[in-house]
Amino acid sequence: MVSNESTATQLPRDAPRDAPRDAPRDAPSEAPEVICNNVTVEFTERREKTNGSAKSRRVLDDLRMTVAGGEIIGLIGASGCGKSTLLRSIAGLQPLTSGSISIEDKSINECRDRLSFVFQEAALLPWRTVIENVQLPWELQGAGNRKAAKEQAADLLRTVGLQDADHRKLPSQLSGGMKMRASLARSLILDPSVLLLDEPFAALDDMLRWRLNALVLDLWKSRKRTILFVTHNIAEAVFLSHRIAIMHQGKIAEWIDSEITEDRGESLRSSPDFARMYGHVSAKLSAITKATVS
Amino acid sequence: MKSNGLISIAAPVILFAVILSLWHWVVQFYEINPIILPGPIQVARSLWNEREVLATGFRTTGTAAIIGLLLSVLLGGAIAILFSLSSILRSAVYPYLIFLQTVPIVAIAPLLILWSGYNFRTVVLVTIIISIFPIVSNTTSGLLSINPNLRDLFRLNGASSLQTLNKLRIPAAVSHLVLGMRISCGLAVIGAIIGEFFVGNSSAYDGLGTIMTRWQGRNYTSGLIAAILVSTLLGIVFFVAVNQFSQRVLHRWTSASNLDGDR
């Protein structure tokens, strides 16, 4: 059901709907709930930009959000609305000015090893082979047996569609799509409970993006983890998300529940449900942006 | 493609032949005194006649330059790592490194001789002073200019400072170190020869710089030009050696920065 609790033209002060809908079916207990309580993040602008006086800019403004375990949440909104900052805050990469973020009632620092992050670029170490890159989190966290890590890395690379011959290649020898696959495999090596994706497919062409969207869904089906992802692509948000959060000026301006209940195969993109949902999200996003401009 | 390859080899060879012919013609036509400018044939004859002396000079100067360059890499790399770990240290020491770079080496060399003597060690010291700055500067820049996403990746995985240094900063700085070495390898040869100019008249020393000083005193111009050619050859050998080392041994670390493709 699409949330009608707020209208786009009258933006609510608080997030209109911060409670999660029911967790997706079959979501196992390892997929944790993520709660953001009144999260505010302010950036201090550099002095030379503000005529000598330090000035702060509020990027996240008293944001509240609850994500159920095993949910896929798509974060969309105009550039600068705070999507990536929210994701970085959940990952513990961005200090909060106020508020708190918890995962299953624990602070981020306590469960850092349960989180994984995929960046907009593949962020592979160019001097390491693909398989060595995938093993990196294991090495850094001292997670144990090197041989087991290697075997697991190879399995994951096969899962994301990279053949054995590619495992020993350097990143410079791979295409953009292959690098993103390797990056996805790396994010899964420690079997994280929460996967955070910051526009991971933004630089790829549509066909490749669709294939990798399907791959994310396959990974979710097999592992049922909590996934939050940032995108500027409405079709991607509709295809992947159980709920879409439209962000605006550091808040979640609108939650939209996905109406799509059928199995999300490639045929979904040409279905009436998909077109309707796409139109609905576009209209909401557009109305929210226009309301601010006017 | 094949004709392009042929042209790239033939063009410099033809130019070289033209310059030699012109040189020969000018010397013959204007009957220039061989003490001022000997002809190319005379230089070639000196090159052959003095081959043993020049080969010894090549080895001695080459050894001093190699040792100086290696010590510059070790010392410069260590300084760069310290700089990357402490911005206070960097701010405190960097101006003095620039000072060391700007003070003319000819002004320092007599002082070094006073402290260290007329020996091989002084030549190596001069080589280090001349060649260390590009290595410190480039390597520090490599250690500090890390891709923010990679830095975040290490933070996300709770990497210690030592892990970040070993697995991220140092490998990322290798291509910058190689760039520094490419600049410094030429400087190392220059440094060794300048050092030898000062160690100079000591008969126990037989580097190219010493040979040049000796032959200059004897107005042996054709030998002097031959020694210059051998010094140039030494610089080229160093440059090629650093490139080969970068391509064959450090390929994994330098390939992403396209160091091998920009020649």
Q: Which residue of B has its CA nearest to A138?
A: B157
CA gap B89, B91 in Å, rounded = 5
Of A37-41, B3-7, B29-33, B74-78, the poorest mean pLDDT is in B3-7
Question: Chains A and B: how many Cβ contacts under 8 Å?
Answer: 55
User: 3-state DSSP call for residue A248?
Assistant: strand
Query: Do B202 and B118 contact (CB within 8 A), yes or no?
Result: yes
pLDDT at A218 over 90: no
pLDDT on residue B41: 94
Q: What is the mean pLDDT of residues A38-59?
A: 77
Strand order of the sheet with strand A226-230?
A115-118, A194-198, A226-230, A72-77, A243-248, A251-257
Domains and CATH numbers, chain B: 48-252 (1.10.3720.10)
Give backbone dihedrals phi and psi of A263, rounded to 5 degrees, phi first.
Answer: -60, 130
How close, in Å, is residue B77 to chain A by CA atoms?
19
Domains and CATH numbers, chain A: 34-121+195-293 (3.40.50.300)
Q: What is the mean pLDDT of residues A107-121?
A: 87
Cβ contacts of A117 on chain B, cutoff 8 Å: 152-153, 156
Q: What is the mean pLDDT of residues B205-209?
A: 88
Contact (CB<8Å) B256/A136 = no
pLDDT at A11 over 70: no
Maximum Cα–Cα distance across chain B: 77
Instruction: List the one residue out of A50, A86, A20 whose CA is nearest residue A226.
Output: A20
pLDDT one-digit tens code per residue, B83-100: 999 999 999 998 888 887
Q: Which residue of A has its CA nearest to B150?
A: A123
ipTM of the complex: 0.83
Q: Which residue of A has its CA nearest to B151?
A: A123
